[in-house]
Chain A
Amino acid sequence: MRTRHKHRHEGRATRWGLDNLQTGRFAQRVHELSIATSALQQTLEAAHEAGASRVARIVLRVGAISGVEVEALRFAFSAILPGTAAEGAELEICPVAARAHCASCQADFAPGSDLLFECPTCGRLSATITQGRELELTRLEIY
């Protein structure tokens, strides 16, 4: 009986936690790995609280100017999911376009491709960014 207990708890530690992950210097240098690690930790906590047995899908909202490279984020997830309850989960990334607000025209606008926040109507520059910095965990599908 004792042996079985010990086994089960060890299994859960790696399944629901990230004790087996290296989150040292490499994670800090590659900023997407650190973000993926945070998102996975939040995923596992939420799924565990909801009594899930495994996670099938992770949905994130990532803003165009959040500073996150989507391909690097996907790669980071592929490296850290195995061995956890989210192993094999599909990662869905919903992009959020950047928007800014022009105070003189009282209107929102989308910045140009060079990400200069110049109002297309009056040409004034705006520093009021209304959307695009998002980095959120929005939905999980769990079994």
Chain B
Amino acid sequence: MPPESTRDPSVVPEVTVVDVRDPEDALPRPPGDAPTRPLRVLELQVKVLDQNDRQAEANRTLLRHHGIHAVNFVSSPGAGKTALLERTLDALAGQVRCAVLVGDLETDNDARRLRRANVPVVQITTGGTCHLDASMVARALATVPLEGIRLLLIENVGNLVCPASFDLGENRRVTLLSCTEGEDKPLKYPPIFTSAHAVILNKIDVATAVGFNRTTALANIGRVAPQAEAFELSARTGEGFPAWLDYLRRLA
């Protein structure tokens, strides 16, 4: 309130309006057709990532934070993923600290085979699901003490189709092909090979016995997956293992 002396009776102050209405609270419209609004165009450039890709990115960040490199092993059932991991874990024991996640529809048989001193192993039982996805890996990782681990080996569900579409947050994807499967597998199932960083030709100890042509198989791998490093080895006899172990040591 200004002092009495400054009051000029000829000046009438403006009315101050304090609007306390909710701006969202529109008055009722007249009934009938809604008024037409002009059509507007919104130009966007938004990448559509699905939930799995978002979770996979979160997994990658978590693993990077702990200095862990993750390798996702994919193949058809029976190509020798578990045998490969058994020999790999034995060879890396005392040099590179590993953790293992194993996906299967049922049973923990593979996880039991992979139990080693100082190696945490988690069996992911998927029930009916034919592949691992990033959220399953996230749940499994929550149960593993990650400190000190350098290499996370993920054995995917045996399947040459579905795991190709699901990023788990891995740093490397390794596709296995065994000599008993035939040389043309890469041509029949390209996505799982085109998305691989490395391809392993396993069971080369029986290649001759089953009439497997390694040259043709390697040429087919080269056609479909020219980006992938190729390894020929036998998880049973250990033939060809030094090059493969070097690859993993370079990662870790």
Judge whether A29 is part of the interface by a CB distance below 8 angstroms. Answer: yes
**B48 contact from A27, A50, A135, Cβ within 8 A:** A135
CA distance A56 to B164 in the complex (A): 35
Chain A residue contacts of B37, Cβ below 8 A: 53, 143
Q: Measured between C-beta atoms, what is the minimum distance from B64 to chain A in Å?
A: 23
Chain B residue with minimal CB distance to A12?
B24
Judge whether B123 is part of the interface by a CB distance below 8 angstroms. Answer: no
Q: Are A125 and B226 in contact (CB under 8 A)?
A: yes
Judge whether A97 is part of the interface by a CB distance below 8 angstroms. Answer: no
Task: Give a binary string over A106-143; 1 marks a CB under 8 Å from any B CB, 0 the rest.
Answer: 00000000011110000001110000000111111111
**With contact pairs A28-B135, A67-B165, A126-B226 given, residues A34 and B41 touching in the complex (Cβ less than 8 Å):** no
Q: Measured between C-beta atoms, what is the minimum distance from A48 to chain B in Å?
A: 11
CA distance A117 to B225 in the complex (A): 9
Q: Measured between C-beta atoms, what is the minimum distance from B176 to chain A in Å?
A: 20
Chain A residue contacts of B224, Cβ below 8 A: 116
CA distance A125 to B228 in the complex (A): 12
Judge whether A91 is part of the interface by a CB distance below 8 angstroms. Answer: no
Judge whether B232 is part of the interface by a CB distance below 8 angstroms. Answer: no
Interface of A is mostly: mixed
Q: Are A125 and B222 in contact (CB under 8 A)?
A: yes
CA distance A56 to B227 in the complex (A): 43
**With contact pairs A34-B51, A35-B50, A38-B49 given, residues A139 and B42 touching in the complex (Cβ less than 8 Å):** yes
Q: Are B51 and A125 in contact (CB under 8 A)?
A: no
Q: Are A140 and B42 in contact (CB under 8 A)?
A: yes
Chain B residue contacts of A143, Cβ below 8 A: 37-40
Chain A residue contacts of B135, Cβ below 8 A: 28
Judge whether A81 is part of the interface by a CB distance below 8 angstroms. Answer: no
Judge whether B45 is part of the interface by a CB distance below 8 angstroms. Answer: yes
**With contact pairs A31-B165, A127-B227, A143-B37 given, residues A38 and B42 touching in the complex (Cβ less than 8 Å):** no
Judge whether A47 is part of the interface by a CB distance below 8 angstroms. Answer: yes
Chain B residue contacts of A37, Cβ below 8 A: 50-51
CA distance A28 to B129 in the complex (A): 10
Chain A residue contacts of B164, Cβ below 8 A: 67
8 A Cβ contacts from B142-201 to A: 164-166, 190-191
Chain B residue contacts of A56, Cβ below 8 A: 39
Judge whether B104 is part of the interface by a CB distance below 8 angstroms. Answer: no
Chain B residue with minimal CB distance to A60?
B48
Judge whether A46 is part of the interface by a CB distance below 8 angstroms. Answer: yes
Q: Are A46 and B42 in contact (CB under 8 A)?
A: yes
Judge whether B18 is part of the interface by a CB distance below 8 angstroms. Answer: no
Task: Give a binary string over B197-236; 1 marks a CB under 8 Å from any A CB, 0 the rest.
Answer: 0000000000000000000000000111111000000000
**With contact pairs A28-B133, A125-B222, A127-B226 given, residues A52 and B40 touching in the complex (Cβ less than 8 Å):** yes
**A23 contact from B24, B51, B133, Cβ within 8 A:** B51
Q: Are B42 and A136 in contact (CB under 8 A)?
A: no
Further contacts, 17 of them, CB under 8 A, given A35-B50, A142-B41: A28-B129, A31-B50, A31-B165, A34-B50, A35-B48, A37-B50, A38-B49, A42-B46, A50-B40, A67-B164, A118-B223, A125-B222, A127-B225, A127-B227, A138-B46, A142-B39, A143-B40
10 pairs of residues in contact across A and B, judged by CB atoms under 8 Å = A35-B48, A42-B48, A46-B42, A50-B42, A67-B165, A118-B223, A127-B227, A137-B44, A137-B48, A141-B40
State the 9 A-B residue pairs at the shortest beta-carbon distance, nearest first: A127-B227, A125-B226, A34-B50, A140-B42, A137-B46, A39-B48, A35-B50, A127-B226, A143-B37
